Amino acid sequence: MERARIRVFDTTLRDGEQSPGCSMNVREKLRMAHQLDRLGVDVIEAGFPIASDGDFEAVQSVSASIRRPVIAGLARACTPDIERAWQALKGASHPRIHVFLATSDIHLKYKLRISRQQCLEQARDAVRLAKTFCQDVEFSPEDATRTDTDFLCRLLEAVVEAGATTLNIPDTVGYAMPAEFGQLIETIQHRVRGIERVTISAHCHDDLGLAVANSLAAIAAGARQVECAINGIGERAGNASLEEIVMAMRVRPDLHPYDTGVLSDQLYPTSKLLSEITGVSVQPNKAIIGRNAFAHEAGIHQDGMLKNPLTYEIMTPQSVGVPDSTLVLGKHSGRHALALRCEQLGYQFERRELDEIYRRFVILADKIKTVEDRHLLELIREAREQAQRIPPGHVGELPLAIAASASAGQTRPSGAYFSKPLATPLPADSKTSELPLSKVEQHGEQEDYLWGV
Ligand code: KIV
Ligand code: ZN
């Protein structure tokens, strides 16, 4: 079956940059744009040229130096904005003017103070003007999801007639629910005359945490462009996260049979670059690119991961550019991971010996958040010293000195996150494929399973 191609419109440098703490200067935007090009996005929205001289310059230099993707510049539906956008974009090999105007009654009444009819005419005239400069014109009815549907369809029809080539439907305030947003895209597809000549696009915000779900619903309903940002940055709660949309399609082609031009192994390097440039890091549990997205602390999970990563990972870390899965030694860890880390540090233990190390480890891990290599080495040394001094069977003192010296609050202490020895590659369908047996699994005893965690 032929898979539809979804255009990825990246707005990290425009909507993303508008979020507090994420502003970028010209040099930084250019650096980021080169990485977005490497990532394979179809459209880079480089900025809002009328907003500042810096933004104008950024759009101009991205246009001059990034030649493969379409470069878009934002403009309100008015002459000065559109002219300024074109001045910044005209050097691009594939320029796009992105015109927007709010259409919901709330925005018309309180923000723009114009009638629906005035709004429709302004949108149509703005697209006509943009079209005199550039073939590729995108129109966005801001706050589309809170706009009267009949009026929205009438206005969209007018801008298609005026020459818009992409109709972007923004859920500006992150208000829509997935089924409802999908329904809106379907309605637009059925009701707007001339819609077959244009690309429908979705632009979702994450105020209710639904931006990615809404974007996927829009694609399922017929949208063929999706607007999103690296690390999900954007106004307020952010835009739909590019990495999550791309990987949802890649991991579940059974439900989302679409292709994008994105090279998924560039996702993590792109995310890291953005954090480095803005100084804004992502939360550790952020899907796909967060520090803990491929880290395992619970003993049962670590045991499963060491036997076969299919047990707890639905994609390989390498597929998104993360070097490897990691195991973390904390109070939830088990003997299996502890034994592995000890081995990696050069220590192999008999089962009884490891039981003693593990007993001490659990008490220590209860006191400190993560057990680093230096704690582990000291713990081993203490256990060995005690074993030489004390007859077998005697319970030794606990390593309180280690607990006292442990530094709390470090983000990623040395040796706290470590890799397992061999990553078993994931087959295409991680649900049904046969699992290769590792040495540990071949042991096959329930007692071993319980001991392992
Ligand atoms: O969220 C929004 O409505 C926007 C438009 C400018 C597309 O960012
Ligand atoms: Zn937006």
DSSP string across 25-49: -HHHHHHHHHHHHHHT-SEEEEE-T
Residues 128-151, mean pLDDT to the nearest whole number = 98
Question: Each residue of 56-101: pLDDT tens digit?
Answer: 999 999 999 999 999 999 999 999 999 999 999 999 999 999 999 9
Residue ranges in 267-408 assigned as alpha helix (H): 267-278, 299-307, 335-344, 351-367, 373-389, 400-405
- State which H helix or E strand residue 166 sits in: strand 166-171
Structure tokens at 354: 């490891």
pLDDT by residue (tens digit) across 416-438? 788 876 544 444 445 544 333 33
Give domain limits for the chain.
Answer: 4-278, 295-436
The pLDDT assigned to 414 comes to: 55
Average of pLDDT values for 366-373?
92
Q: Is the CB of 140 under 6 A from ligand 1?
A: yes
Residue with tokens 């290599």: 373
Is residue 390 over pLDDT 60?
A: no
Question: Is residue 73 within 6 Å of ligand 1 at its C-beta?
Answer: no
What pLDDT is attached to residue 419?
86
Query: Beta strand 417-419 with 326-328: parallel, antiparallel or unpaired?
Result: antiparallel
**Ligand 1 atom closest to Cα of 74?**
6
Question: How much distance in Å is there from the Cα of 38 to the middle of ligand 1?
Answer: 25
User: Residues 53-57: what's their mean pLDDT?
Assistant: 98
Residues 47 and 142: their CA atoms lie apart, in Å, by 17
Closest among 71, 41, 55 to 270, alpha carbons compared: 41
Quote the ligand 2 centre to 281 CA distance (angstroms): 21
Taking the CA of residue 227 as reference, the ligand 1 atom at the shortest distance is 7
pLDDT surpassing 70 at residue 288: yes
Q: Which of 103, 142, 152 to mutate to test the pocket of ligand 1 (most atoms within 8 A of CB)?
A: 142
Question: Of the residues 74, 78, 172, 233, which should be mutated to test ligand 1's pocket, given the most ligand atoms within 8 Å of the CB?
Answer: 172
Instruction: Tell me, using a 6 A CB cutoff, whether residue 47 lines ligand 1.
Output: no
Q: Is ligand 1 within 6 A of the CB of residue 11?
A: no
What is the chain's length?
A: 453
Give pLDDT, residue 435: 34
Packing angle, helices 335-344 and 351-367, rounded to 10: 100
What is the pairing mode between strands 137-142 and 326-328?
unpaired
**Confidence at residue 431, expressed as pLDDT on a 0 to 100 scale:** 56
Output the CA 142–ligand 1 centroid distance in Å.
6
Tell me, what's the pLDDT at 398? Answer: 41
Look at residues 376, 388, 382, 385 and name the one whose alpha carbon lies nearest to residue 347.
Answer: 376
358 CB within 6 A, ligand 1? no
Integer Cα distance of 198 and 165 in angstroms: 5
CA angle 82, 129, 62 (to 5 degrees): 35
> Would you say residue 407 has pLDDT above 70?
no
Describe the strand order of the beta sheet including 417-419 as a list of residue ranges.
295-296, 326-328, 417-419
Q: Which two tokens stand for residue 168?
A: 């972007």
Q: C-alpha distances in angstroms, 243 versus 1, 265, 269, 282? A: 25, 10, 11, 13
Report the candidate in 250, 191, 247, 201 with the shortest Cα–Cα distance to residue 222: 201
**Distance (Å, rounded) from C-alpha 257 to C-alpha 418?**
35
Contact of 38 with 266, CB cutoff 8 Å:
yes
What values do phi and psi take at 400, rounded to 5?
Answer: -65, -30
Q: Which residues surround ligand 2, an ion (CB under 5 A)?
A: 15
Q: 203 CA to middle of ligand 2, Å?
A: 6
Protein residue closest via CA to atom 6 of ligand 1 = 100
* Of the candidate ranges 99-103, 306-310, 321-325, 399-403, the one whose mean pLDDT is the lowest: 399-403
Q: What's the CA-to-centroid distance between 2 and ligand 2, angstroms? A: 31
Element (DSSP H or E) covering residue 10: strand 7-10
The reply to whether ligand 1 has any atom less than 6 angstroms from the CB of 232 is: no
Q: What are 168-182's pLDDT values in tens digits?
A: 999 999 999 999 999
Specify the amino acid at residue 27. R
Neighbours of 213 (CB within 10 A): 22
Q: Which residue has the higher pLDDT, 413 or 253?
A: 253
Is 201 in a helix, a strand, or coil? Answer: strand
pTM: predicted TM-score of the whole model, two decimal places? 0.89
Output the CATH code of domain 4-278: 3.20.20.70
CA distance 266 to 246: 12
**Ligand 2 centroid, distance to 205 Cα (angstroms):** 6
Q: How many angstroms separate the CA atoms of 25 and 55, rounded?
A: 8
Is residue 296 within 6 Å of ligand 1 at its C-beta?
A: no
- How far apart CA 130 and CA 64 sit, in angstroms, is 20
Closest-CA residue, ligand 1 atom 1, reads 172
Q: How confident is the model over 319-344, as a mean pLDDT?
A: 94
Contacts 24+ apart (CB under 8 A), 428-434: 430/310, 430/314, 430/315, 433/310
Whole-angstrom distance, CA of residue 88 vs CA of residue 77? 17
Asked whether 15 lines ligand 1 (CB < 6 A), one says: yes
Q: Which residue owns the Cα nearest ligand 1 atom 5?
A: 142
